[in-house]
C-alpha cells in the first residue's frame, strides 16, 4: 500500500492498518535484529581470525622496522623519519605499562572477587575507635572497568601501530617517502576531517556516558544494595540474581515492578498522544486563515515553554497541594467542602494520575504547537482545496489530510517523545514525588515511573543493584519499541539510524 492508498482509507481502517502493520512488523523487526546481531558476531570472529592471520603474516614478511614495532610501538615510524608520530606511539606504550603496573593492574586483579578484605573499626592503644580500611568493591569495579576500556583502546593503538609500520614499509618499497607530520595534520583537515570533528566529543562521551554506563550495567550483576555498601562492606558478583528477584523470586519486588511497569506504559502512551493531538488541534486553531492576534495567542503558549520546566512543575505542585491556591479557589467558589487531595490521595490514586496527566498536557501542548506550526504551514494548500471542492468538512479534512501528513512527517519525533516520556523524571518527581504512597509497593508510590523508582532505590535506599537492573529493563523496553517503529517508518527509511 502506498501513501495515496493509505490516505484514502477511513480513520478506523487506518488505525487497523497501522495496528496490523505494527504487529506484523514485530517478528520481522526482531528477526532482522537477531540476524543483524548474528551477522555482527560472525563478522567479529571472522575479523579476529583475519587479524591473527595478518598479524602473523605481517611479522613474517615485514622488514626490521615492522618486526620491531611488534615489540616497541612506534619503531616503524622512527625508522622512517616520522619522529613525532613515533614518540607518540612510544609514549602510549610507556604510559600504558606504567598505568597497568602502578594502578590498573592491581584493580584488575581484584575484578573477579571485587575485594576480599572488609573494613572494620578497631581500637588503638588509647581506646580510640579507629577505622581499618579494607577493599572498596565499588572502586575496584569502577577502576577495573576503566582498565578494561583502556586495554581495549591500547590494543587498538597497538594494531594501528603495526598497520602504520606495514604501510610505511610499503610506501618506502614503492620508492616514496612516508607522510610527514605536516602532511598527516593536513589530512586531518580534509580527508580525515571526521576524525578532527569527532575526537573531542567522542572522548567526552566515552568518559562520561559510556564508561559510567558499562559500570552501571555491571552493577546490575552484583549485590551492591543497602546491606553491601562500600567502603564499609564488600559486595560481590551475583549473576542474574537481581533480575530473578525483580521478575520472580521476590514477591514484593515483582509486584512493585509489575505495577510500575504498567503505569509507566500507560503514562507514556497517554502523555505522548494527549499532548500531540491536543497540541495539533490548538496549533491548527491558531494558524487558521483570517484569524487575528495570532502572535498574541502564540506568545501565551510559548511563555509556558520558555519558563524553565522545573519552575512550572514546582509551582504546580504547590498550587495543587491540599492548602494550595487551586483548593482555595474551589473552596471560595463554594464548589468543594473539603480540599481535594490532587496529588496525595492514598485512597484514590487515580486522582493523582489524572492530575499529573493534565499538568503534563499543560506543559506539553506548547511544545507541540512550536514543533508542528512549521510543518502545518508546509502542507500543500491544493490538498485542502480539492477536499473542500469535494465537500469535506473541516473535521474530515483534519482526519484525512492534516493528521496523516503530520504523523507521516513527525513519526521520529513522536518516537523520541514516547521514549522521553518513559524516562520522564521531572514531571513525576517534582509534581507528586511518586506519591500517593502504596503500602504494597517496595520503595515506590502509585505514580512512580521506572525511572523515579530507580532514583528512589539509589538515593533513598542505596539499592544500586536493583536500580541498575531496572535501568537495563527500561533500556530494553525503549530499545525494542524504537527498533520496531523506526524500521517500520517511511520517513526514516532513507536516513534511518538503523540502516
Q: Which residues within the stretch 223-242 sit at the binding site for other proteins (CB under 8 A)?
A: 226-227, 229, 231-233
Residues in region 350-369 near other proteins by CB under 8 A: 362, 366
What are the contacts of 378-385 at 24+ separation with CB within 8 A? 379/405
Minimum CB separation of residue 173 from other proteins in Å reads 26
Residues in region 34-73 near other proteins by CB under 8 A: none
Q: Dihedrals φ, ψ of 120, to 5°?
A: -150, 165
Q: CB-wise, 244 or 433, nearer to other proteins?
A: 433
Contact predicate 472/217, CB 8 Å: yes
The yes or no reply on residue 393 touching other proteins (CB under 8 A) is no
First-to-final CA distance of the chain:
22
Minimum CB separation of residue 86 from other proteins in Å reads 25
Minimum CB separation of residue 418 from other proteins in Å reads 11
Residues in region 420-449 near other proteins by CB under 8 A: 423, 425-426, 429-430, 437-440, 442-443
Which residue from 451, 466, 485, 488 is in contact with other proteins, where contact means CB under 8 A?
451
DSSP letters for 159-206: HHHHHHHHHHHHHHHTTPPPPPHHHHHHHHHTTTHHHHHHHHHHHHHI
Contact predicate 431/340, CB 8 Å: no
Which residue from 458, 465, 485, 488 is in contact with other proteins, where contact means CB under 8 A?
458
Contact predicate 402/284, CB 8 Å: yes
Minimum CB separation of residue 71 from other proteins in Å reads 28
The yes or no reply on residue 397 touching other proteins (CB under 8 A) is no
Which residue from 305, 351, 383, 399 is in contact with other proteins, where contact means CB under 8 A?
305
| Among 413, 340, 337, 405, residue whose Cα is nearest residue 375 | 405
Which residue from 303, 354, 380, 385 is in contact with other proteins, where contact means CB under 8 A?
303
Which residue from 63, 241, 244, 412 is in contact with other proteins, where contact means CB under 8 A?
412
Q: CB-wise, 90 or 284, nearer to other proteins?
A: 284
Which residue from 94, 311, 336, 354 is in contact with other proteins, where contact means CB under 8 A?
311
**What are the cell numbers at 282?**
490548538
SS3 336: coil
Which residue from 24, 204, 248, 266 is in contact with other proteins, where contact means CB under 8 A?
204
| Among 90, 7, 5, residue whose Cα is nearest residue 407 | 7
SS3 289: coil
Stretch that binds other proteins, among 83-91, 93-101, 164-172, 201-209 (CB under 8 A): 201-209
Q: CB-wise, 180 or 491, nearer to other proteins?
A: 491
| Among 41, 15, 487, residue whose Cα is nearest residue 273 | 15
Cis peptide before 225 (omega within 30 of 0): no
SS3 70: coil
Q: CB-wise, 2 or 347, nearer to other proteins?
A: 347
Which residue from 12, 71, 127, 391 is in contact with other proteins, where contact means CB under 8 A?
127
SS3 121: strand
The yes or no reply on residue 184 touching other proteins (CB under 8 A) is no
Contact predicate 322/341, CB 8 Å: yes
Minimum CB separation of residue 359 from other proteins in Å reads 10
Amino acid at each position: 500500500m502506498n501513501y495515496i492508498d493509505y490516505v484514502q482509507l477511513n480513520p478506523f481502517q487506518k488505525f487497523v492498518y497501522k495496528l496490523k502493520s505494527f504487529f506484523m512488523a514485530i517478528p520481522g523487526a526482531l528477526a532482522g535484529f537477531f540476524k543483524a546481531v548474528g551477522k555482527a558476531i560472525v563478522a567479529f570472529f571472522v575479523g579476529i581470525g583475519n587479524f591473527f592471520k595478518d598479524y602473523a603474516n605481517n611479522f613474517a614478511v615485514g622488514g626490521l622496522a615492522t618486526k620491531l614495532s611488534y615489540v616497541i610501538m612506534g619503531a616503524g615510524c622512527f625508522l622512517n623519519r616520522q619522529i613525532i608520530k613515533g614518540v607518540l606511539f612510544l609514549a602510549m606504550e610507556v604510559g600504558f605499562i606504567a598505568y597497568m603496573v602502578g594502578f590498573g593492574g592491581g584493580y584488575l586483579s581484584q575484578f573477579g572477587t571485587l575485594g576480599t578484605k572488609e573494613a572494620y573499626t578497631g581500637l588503638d592503644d588509647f581506646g580510640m575507635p579507629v577505622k581499618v580500611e579494607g577493599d572498596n568493591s565499588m572502586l575496584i569495579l569502577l577502576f577495573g572497568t576503566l582498565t578494561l576500556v583502556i586495554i581495549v583502546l591500547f590494543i587498538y593503538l597497538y594494531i594501528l601501530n603495526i598497520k602504520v609500520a606495514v604501510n610505511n614499509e610499503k610506501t618506502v618499497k614503492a620508492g616514496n617517502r612516508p607522510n610527514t607530520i605536516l602532511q598527516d595534520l593536513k589530512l586531518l583537515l580534509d580527508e580525515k576531517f571526521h576524525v578532527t570533528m569527532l575526537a573531542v566529543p567522542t572522548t567526552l562521551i566515552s568518559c562520561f556516558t559510556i564508561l559510567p554506563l558499562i559500570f552501571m550495567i555491571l552493577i546490575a550483576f552484583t549485590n551492591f544494595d543497602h546491606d553491601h555498601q562500600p567502603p564499609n562492606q564488600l559486595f560481590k558478583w551475583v549473576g542474574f540474581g537481581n533480575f530473578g528477584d525483580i521478575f520472580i523470586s521476590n514477591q514484593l519486588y515483582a509486584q512493585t515492578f509489575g505495577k510500575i511497569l504498567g503505569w509507566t506504559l500507560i503514562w507514556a502512551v497517554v502523555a505522548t498522544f494527549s499532548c500531540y493531538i491536543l497540541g495539533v488541534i490548538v496549533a491548527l486553531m491558531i494558524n487558521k486563515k483570517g484569524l487575528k492576534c495570532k502572535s498574541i495567542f502564540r506568545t501565551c503558549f510559548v511563555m509556558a515553554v520558555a519558563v524553565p520546566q522545573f519552575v512550572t512543575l514546582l509551582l504546580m505542585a504547590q498550587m495543587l497541594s491540599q492548602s494550595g491556591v487551586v483548593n482555595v479557589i474551589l473552596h471560595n467558589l463554594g464548589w468543594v467542602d473539603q480540599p481535594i487531595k490532587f496529588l496525595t490521595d492514598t485512597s484514590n490514586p487515580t486522582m493523582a494520575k489524572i492530575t499529573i496527566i493534565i499538568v503534563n498536557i499543560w506543559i506539553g501542548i506548547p511544545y507541540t504547537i512550536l514543533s508542528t506550526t512549521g510543518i502545518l504551514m508546509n502542507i500543500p494548500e491544493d490538498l485542502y482545496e480539492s477536499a473542500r471542492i469535494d465537500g469535506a468538512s473541516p473535521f474530515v479534512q483534519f482526519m484525512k489530510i492534516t493528521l496523516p501528513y503530520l504523523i507521516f512527517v513527525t513519526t521520529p519525533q513522536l518516537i523520541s517523545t514516547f521514549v522521553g516520556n518513559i524516562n520522564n523524571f521531572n514531571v513525576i518527581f517534582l509534581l507528586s514525588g511518586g506519591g500517593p504512597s502504596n503500602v504494597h509497593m517496595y520503595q515506590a508510590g502509585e505514580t512512580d515511573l521506572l525511572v523515579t523508582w530507580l532514583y528512589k532505590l539509589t538515593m533513598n535506599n542505596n539499592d544500586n543493584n536493583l536500580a541498575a537492573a531496572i535501568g537495563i529493563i527500561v533500556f530494553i523496553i525503549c530499545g525494542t519499541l524504537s527498533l520496531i517503529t523506526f524500521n517500520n517508518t517511511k520517513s526514516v527509511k532513507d536516513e534511518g539510524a538503523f540502516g
